[in-house]
Structure 1
Amino acid sequence: MKKFTLLLMLFQASFIFAQKEITGVVKDNSGAALPGVNIVEKGTQNGVATNMDGGYKIKVKDGAVLIFSYIGYDSVEKTASGSKMDVILSQEGGQTLNEIVITGSRTAPRSNTTSALPIDVISSKDLAATGQATFDKALQYKIPSFNTVQTPVNDATSLLDPYEIRNMGPSRTLILINGKRKNLSALLYTQTSPGRGETGADISGIPTDAIKSVEILRDGASAQYGSDAIAGVMNIILKDNKGDGSVTARSGITAQGDGEMLGVSVNNGSPIGVDKGFINYTVDFSKTSQSNRPGTVNAAGEYSDFVYVDPNDSANYTNGATQASITANNATGLAKVNEFLSRRSDAGNINGSPENAAAKFLVNSAYNVSEQTELYFNAAYIYKKVNSFANYRTPYWRSVEDYPYLAKLFPNGPNGTYDGYVPTFEGLLNDYNGTVGLRSKINDWNIDVSFTTGGNAQTYMVGNSHNRNKVYAPRWNPDTNLFEPVELYRENSPVAFNPGGTSFSHNVGNIDISRVLSDKISIGIGSEMRAENFEIISGGLASYDGGGADSFAGNTPENSGKWNRYNIGGYFSLDYDVTDAFLLSGTVRAENYSDFGNAFVYKVSSRYKIDPMLTLRASYSTGFRAPTLHQIYTQKSQYSFIPGKGIQVGGLVNNVSPQASFLGLAKLDAEKSKNFTIGVGGKITRNFNYTIDYYHIAVKDRIVLGSEITGTKLDGDGNNIGTTPLDDVLRANNLSDVSFFANAIDTKTSGIDVVLNYNNLLVGKGDFDFSLSGNYTIQNERDGAVKNPSLVESAGQSIVNPTQEALFFTSRPQTKWILGANYEIGKMGFSLNNTYFGKTTFKQQGLNNNLRTEFIPKIVTDLGVTYSATEKLTLSLNVNNLLNVLPEWKFKAENAAGQAIMNNTTVNHAGLTPIQVESNLITFNQRYSQMTYDGYHFSQLGTMFSLSLNYKF
């Protein structure tokens, strides 16, 4: 680093070449000044933006070409001549696609129409128009290939919903802030839901009012950016305006009168000195109340799962039980179920959207140290608190007959009697990131040196629960002068627990250097060094001892700890404009990780402009994704719902533990990918543009969190009596099953992305814009056999079962389309968006293998209305899901045996047909009837109203 600093100083000392200052004003056809126009010296990263009066000032070399670009206007290129140059931009053919983009290239920036890669550009106005409360949900209704929904069962996942691009999971999309890598979340998704076994950056916490635009590269980019960019890259560009401050007040509520939302945010910018730079900051506070969408619980299913004892099973005749007593107890239990459900038809369950509160702070700044050197920094801090609930423990599920002390711990029923209890879950999240860097131009070399830090910590609290496990400790009895065993928990159990949590942080150093060598050739070279740290925070003794708190067990000391690694990588990029129409681009990258070794990847891409109506583009790349520290080191006991068995305790074994060695589990290696994209784009008319892109992604050695592996032999009561090493591990740790990570499968994913835009259509006295964008998944499947460890294979089991296959490949819409229209007339603006969610298919845990479930395609309609009362005051009303469309699923038969189950009208002891039994299994007796236990289509809250007021300073 000292040598590099000395070299930088020597370059600055020799910084001698002709420079000239150009000033001017940019206006539109009507003569109105245009603030915020991008002005870039062609082939460089030297650029400025116009001020509030449309004025600009920039220093360039003699003979430089300046590119003037602005959303909705034609770009203009002009050769610098003289010291003053005024420019007029026309709206006639201007499109969003003409905006200069920086994502996807390590050389000079290019316009979207001249890029060889498919890039979506979403403005802050586009995000605000969705009416969604958070950034990730706004993208859900703007980008067809982007999907995210709330998980049915919250727990820790209430802090961060899994998202993904092109059905590739959250781990395979790289998130950048102003071009710099954002830290991962500390959360590892371990529930049986989409995103299982993965982690991603927390984009939900980024305040939308701080965002200038979002560039989404829909192509593999590991060669340019390193690990995690297999599916693409999302670059979040922060606001950099020096004025135009505003305050926004938000409120909202669902049509059912819950989920109340209140929020306020302030965004403001100020210049530093006289044209020396800017500082822009955003402060955002919000609170959303609980919303609840439980189903009507099926009494027959409850009776069958929690009460019924089979009088025909000889094993049930113990302790003096007779057929008459069993029948009487069954009748009494059924009466208890019916009485409870008559008062609480939803069985007390609370599932929907959790209560949350958030505080977000963000600052973005740049300072001109000299004419050719800029110091920049940005920083953000997000605090989030979430309150959610576990499944309600009904009085016939956790009964006073089995646990007499519950009457004392939870006297919450009529007249102080015991009526069950619902454990609470409180999550606290702290997320921060910051970058400081120096950009300079030295003898035509563009140099960017930066340091980035970031972290995410999540800690949890469980309340209104108990430790029901029998754990004894010796205690001195003075009456007998002996140590006697005393129960630590059960009747002596606390009702609040500290389960611990997780944290992740990284420190990243970047050096990026580029230069335009000629009109045809530009190069880029750079290096990145990253250090990562992951910690599992141990919980309090009562939270994990003997099995831990009922609902969410804490982290044990032996499974807790701190781990770290580092990696260093370098890349070289070359762009060759063979002609004005024909571009060739290539990048190579080498990486070295301290824990698993080396990676070498490359990318080649090309673009050929036949004419303005048609441009051809294609790319081919290899990529990699390093296993996260979360995946390598997480080891825990976890409560999960097993259909037909209720809540069970399973174990997640990491691949570097003694248990892993005993079970013969291999250490995790990096995923490798091959990504091919080919597409076309252009302008049919001045106002109509389009892009169509085909993609194919092949991933080898994909890392998955395997399905739960059970004992090899069970007795009639479900006890494990197998004799293999796997059985020994399960029994020794009091686990019903064990799961672990593995490079288990190869996958193939292909599809088509379509974007159509028609803008500036004059309708009456107003302007009409129309857009249609869509994603269609052609193929998303496993390629070849599952790579099972020999121990699992010999036991006749697989770490990838039909449930996992469905979560990986069919749990997101097969196709998704967004049809949008905007109309502006006078002070009024109207937007209408229709989002089509294609079918999703699940094979829920416990579901008969001859059946599957499918969510029926649905269209969600969103309406937005804005009114500009004055030049400073704007009111916006959004009605999301205007027609109150809710998810809907149905059973599908896989074969004749499945059809027979659906057609069978024979009822069991509880009066349930076989298909009703299956339905109860996957919805926990209809508690989760809208979404099933493993997932669902889209948000289930129905119609939502939101109103915002924006006042400009």
Structure 2
Amino acid sequence: MIIMAHKKSKLKKRNEIAIAISVALMATLPIQVSAQQESTVEKVIVTGTRMMDRSAADSPVPVDIISGDELRINSSSDIQDMLRTAIPSFDINTQPISDAATIVRPANLRGLSPDNVLVLVNGKRRHRGSIISFLGGGISDGAQGVDISAIPSMAIKQVEVLRDGASSQYGSDAIAGVINFILKDNSEGFEVSTRYGSTYEGDGNNYTLSANAGLPLGDTGFVSLTAEIRDVEGTVRSVVRDDVAAMVSAGYTPAFNFQTMNNYTGDVPQYWGQPDVEGDIKFFINSAFEISEAAEVYMFGNYGEREVTGGFFYRNPVTDGNQRGGVYRGPRVDPLTGLADPDGVHSVLVGDLDGLGVGGSCIAGIPIGGEGNVFPDPNFLAQVAADDNCFSFINTIPGGFVPRFGGNNEDMAIAVGIRGELKIGTGLFYDASAQRGSNKTDFFIRNTINASLGPATPRDFVPGGQEQTETQFKLDFVYRVDAGLESDVNIAFGTEYREEEFDLFAGDEASYALGPLASQGFSSSSNGFGGFPADTSASQDSTAFYIDVESDITEKVTLAVAVRAEDFSEFGNTTDYKIAGIYHFSDDFRIRGAISSGFHAPTAGQANITNVTTQNVQGVLIDQGTLPLSSAAGQLASNFIESLGNGRPELGTEDAQNFAIGVGFNLAGSTWTIDYYNIELTDRVALGANVDFLEALTFAAPSGTNFETVSEALTSLDAQGIIDRQQFVGLDDLSQFRFFSNSFGTTTTGVDVVGNISFDLWGGDSRVTVAANYNKTEVDSVGTVNPIGAGRVAAIEDLLPNTRANVSWSHTEGNIRTLLRANYYGGWDDTGNGVNGVGAQVLIDAQVAYQFSEQLEFVLGADNLLDAYPEKNPGAGGSGELYSESSPFGFNGGSWYLQARFTY
């Protein structure tokens, strides 16, 4: 957003144009200044309202404003973690083993899904990330939100977080609120910052080097350039699983070599902790140039890339409860013959390389017995190893393995436009803009196998990639009319066309191959994350028209009304509204409120993607799949769901009703705002309850048919011509499936409290700020056709703390600046992992800065100063996860950082 300084009289007209038109890109959402920004000077709103010179005290709805400098006061170098510290209703978690969600972490505002939050940069809609979060902790399951971490904090002038519904102004997604990142617009100056930090445990080392330079563009323009380089070392907060401990205790020799298992650390068999982030490079540009007294052209954009590597669960080669189906686990066999016997012992799977019934025969499985029930029979092991026609992974990878999964992410965007007054003096302002953005992720998975390829399997794979691309054209107008009221009537109107495309890129052939051993029970595709077999593309577009009217009716009363109609090519049309107002009882007390409708349209990716993920369900690792309704597997599964009598799954928009009311007052030198909100969401876009895949396949077979395994069912149905096996590649090991559909409804209620007081202390300036949020979401309906499960209900209602608060005390005296901040997290439950009844906790952050000279500052700080950890996971022995990954403040413990900052 470009707001030119009022320094020279010749720029006065330009300033009026810039202010009027830049806010014309945004909705009528006046701003409440948060505690971080409050001062004795009345602040002029530049985001939200289309009226010029609107003060924060006149705001009908709340928006937090955090300056770029204050945002960066913590140890994290990721902007999402910075927002978590600054905004109590904003939540973001570390994602150790979450498939693609490890690469682009899902964030929540007011406890709602990431795609219920609209993200803007300079008032323009930001394109979504390429990742759909299939493992989103319950709250974010299936969401496709914006990749906020692609934005470098050094580029930010300030962040404005609207805490109210805004679909009538912005369109889809603006249900929980709007986050607007305003870029620096400096035409001079240079700043460079270097930061190094680590955890108290000595891992998680990280560094950030960032710089910003402002350059003049002729006499009437600027170019602001920002670059950042960042690297974050992973942490390990894992424990030795019970099954592995049993192997070690029983003397199973390969279990001692943990380094061989995971290719990462020799301390534990399984990687679980903060992911590695390498080569994180970001570049942003923001510029504008006045071409006449009545017109200005502008441009901003970015490029960034990074590599993120997380972990997967350990694949146990022998212990019955945690063996990987289709890799090690074989049928029950006779311990004397190794032949299949339903009453026998469990075994390790053996494959016949020249095919069953061709050439020499092999045993069905290597019997397992001995102390701890972990020893493959050595005689049968030797027999399989000696026969070139027989194969088992227990011979080639005896210690099991831990896949390492990640991706290379690339993000880029550009926006260009021209804004001004059509003719000076007419009061009709315009802004015409075009923008295009994309986010692409190329996946990799290492230290794994495609079991169906047998001994020919590679160990590293490229499963393919995903890309989200969005194009937008906007034309906005603002016209001011003198109607004899306290202020002019602002009439804003405009139109917008937006197109989005979601592309899947095929992986290498081995990552999705249906190898020769598939028919013998060995799973196909790269284990843990199967490759995409072909390039696919899906797109949708929308066209919108809006009108927005706002005015000060009297000295005490302000009203704003907005209506927006939008039509989606795939999901029909919707019309949304908003009415907001504020009444000033006095200079020190005011009441405000808003009522609005909102919506969220499914993305092209959500409607068309197929995905298989590994989940830990009550201590057992199983594969769960997401199938598009339009696919062959989706249609087969839809038939099964319809047969249950609840109808056929469909996918459309979700709808919302927002209500908010609040007060603002000044008391004894302090300023306070208290706001209540209520958000009702119906027909929420969701991944429904998991359905047994084997049951669905059995339903498709002739009556009376029974199958023991999914692989058997797929092979049989293909032979009967009921399905085409090639359309089900990668689903051999699938235990459960689910769909995107409109399923359930929720009601979210909450209260925000923001307070600020400044005072003199010890000869310096002190400020105490309070920001607190109470938020509660309740599931009103689980849905009928494709209902969500009890675990998801529990996550939505209890996974996040209901109460969050930050209390900060900052003090400046001479060359020394200090900050002490208490972060309060209320109790929460992680029912899925048995981490229930977690009590409230307070984390302390501290920072001291010394201004060595006018240009140079040194900073020493610590986050989580007292080294607090969440409660340990009672199921850690089964999963290897020492703490719940849903911990609202992470699980790394305390951390420290050193920073040097040079400005010129």
In the superposition, the TM-score normalised over structure 1's length comes to 0.76
Change (3 A) 1:785 1:164: closer
1:694 aligns with 2:676: yes
Correspondences of 1:892-911 after superposition (within 5 Å): none
Single out whichever of 134-143 and 122-131 deviates more from structure 2.
122-131
1:190 aligns with 2:134: yes
1:520, 1:578 within 8 Å by CA — same for their partners in 2? no
Change (3 A) 1:495 1:555: closer
1:359 aligns with 2:357: no
Q: CA deviation at 1:516?
A: 2.3
1:201 is paired with a residue whose SS is coil
2:103, 2:406 within 8 Å by CA — same for their partners in 1? no
Change (3 A) 1:366 1:297: same
* Alignment correspondent of 1:783: 780
1:445, 1:513 within 8 Å by CA — same for their partners in 2? yes
Identity %: 28
* Alignment correspondent of 1:667: 650
Change (3 A) 1:191 1:548: farther
Correspondences of 1:23-422 after superposition (within 5 Å): 48-49=4-5, 57-60=10-13, 95=39, 98-108=42-52, 110-191=54-135, 193=137, 194-274=139-219, 276-298=220-242, 303=246, 334-336=250-252, 340=256, 347-357=268-278, 358-396=280-318, 402=349, 418-422=398-402
2:888 aligned residue (937, 944, 947): 937
2:649, 2:785 within 8 Å by CA — same for their partners in 1? no
Q: CA deviation at 1:658?
A: 3.7
Change (3 A) 1:417 1:572: closer
Change (3 A) 1:874 1:62: closer
* Alignment correspondent of 1:837: 825
* Alignment correspondent of 2:761: 763
1:865 aligns with 2:856: no
Q: 1:386-416 CA deviation, whole Å, 9 max, x = no partner?
A: 12222233454576965779999xxxxxxx9
Letter in 2 for 1:353: Q
Q: CA deviation at 1:417?
A: 9.0
* Alignment correspondent of 1:553: 529
d(CA) in 2 for partners of 1:62 and 1:135? 30
Change (3 A) 1:497 1:369: same
1:521 aligned residue (456, 481, 489): 489
Change (3 A) 1:228 1:602: same
Single out whichever of 672-681 and 392-401 deviates more from structure 2.
392-401
d(CA) in 1 for partners of 2:713 and 2:547? 56
1:171, 1:198 within 8 Å by CA — same for their partners in 2? yes
Q: CA deviation at 1:130?
A: 2.4
2:99, 2:135 within 8 Å by CA — same for their partners in 1? no
Change (3 A) 1:379 1:56: farther
Letter in 1 for 2:491: I
2:578 aligned residue (600, 603, 610): 603
Q: CA deviation at 1:138?
A: 0.3
Change (3 A) 1:763 1:717: farther
1:435 aligned residue (390, 412, 415): 415
1:103, 1:217 within 8 Å by CA — same for their partners in 2? no
d(CA) in 2 for partners of 1:716 and 1:591? 49
Letter in 2 for 1:929: L
Q: CA deviation at 1:260?
A: 1.0
1:457, 1:504 within 8 Å by CA — same for their partners in 2? yes
Q: CA deviation at 1:552?
A: 2.7
d(CA) in 2 for partners of 1:449 and 1:390? 47
Letter in 2 for 1:435: A
Q: 1:869-903 CA deviation, whole Å, 9 max, x = no partner?
A: 0000011112011000111168xxxxxxxxxxxxx
Q: 1:490-512 CA deviation, whole Å, 9 max, x = no partner?
A: 21111111101210011101111
When the two chains are superposed, the root-mean-square deviation of aligned CA atoms in Å is: 3.4
Change (3 A) 1:627 1:61: closer
* Alignment correspondent of 2:469: 505
d(CA) in 1 for partners of 2:845 and 2:282? 27
d(CA) in 1 for partners of 2:187 and 2:14? 26
2:660 aligned residue (667, 677, 684): 677
2:238 is paired with a residue whose SS is coil
1:568 aligns with 2:484: no
Q: 1:817-852 CA deviation, whole Å, 9 max, x = no partner?
A: 00111011100000011111111223217x6xxxx7
* Alignment correspondent of 2:517: none
1:774 aligns with 2:772: yes
Letter in 2 for 1:947: L
Change (3 A) 1:658 1:869: same
1:108, 1:514 within 8 Å by CA — same for their partners in 2? no
d(CA) in 1 for partners of 2:275 and 2:155? 25
Q: CA deviation at 1:296?
A: 4.2
Q: CA deviation at 1:102?
A: 3.2
Q: CA deviation at 1:243?
A: 1.6
Q: 1:755-793 CA deviation, whole Å, 9 max, x = no partner?
A: 00112x10011111001111102x41111352224xxxx
Letter in 1 for 2:760: L
Q: 1:633-654 CA deviation, whole Å, 9 max, x = no partner?
A: 11133333333433x3332111
d(CA) in 1 for partners of 2:179 and 2:855? 32
Q: CA deviation at 1:706?
A: 1.8
1:214, 1:236 within 8 Å by CA — same for their partners in 2? yes
1:947 is paired with a residue whose SS is strand
1:650 aligns with 2:614: no
2:106, 2:136 within 8 Å by CA — same for their partners in 1? no
* Alignment correspondent of 2:900: 949
d(CA) in 2 for partners of 1:730 and 1:705? 26
2:597 is paired with a residue whose SS is strand
1:927 aligns with 2:871: no
2:686 aligned residue (694, 700, 704): 704
Change (3 A) 1:94 1:182: closer
Equivalent residue pairs, number: 774
Q: CA deviation at 1:716?
A: 13
2:252 is paired with a residue whose SS is helix
Q: CA deviation at 1:860?
A: 1.2
1:581, 1:609 within 8 Å by CA — same for their partners in 2? yes
2:443 aligned residue (460, 470, 493): 460
Q: CA deviation at 1:148?
A: 0.5
2:433 is paired with a residue whose SS is strand
Change (3 A) 1:595 1:294: same
Correspondences of 1:578-589 after superposition (within 5 Å): 578-589=553-564
Q: CA deviation at 1:432?
A: 1.1
Letter in 2 for 1:568: T
Q: CA deviation at 1:374?
A: 0.7
Q: 1:654-694 CA deviation, whole Å, 9 max, x = no partner?
A: 12224434424433110111000000113224x41111000
Change (3 A) 1:598 1:97: farther
Letter in 1 for 2:661: I
Q: CA deviation at 1:214?
A: 0.7
Correspondences of 1:463-482 after superposition (within 5 Å): 463-469=446-452
Q: CA deviation at 1:929?
A: 2.5
d(CA) in 2 for partners of 1:55 and 1:620? 41
* Alignment correspondent of 1:915: none
Show structure 2 runs of 5+ residues with no match: 21-36, 260-264, 329-346, 351-380, 387-395, 515-522, 643-647, 699-704
1:856, 1:889 within 8 Å by CA — same for their partners in 2? no
2:866 aligned residue (883, 895, 899): 883
2:257, 2:399 within 8 Å by CA — same for their partners in 1? no
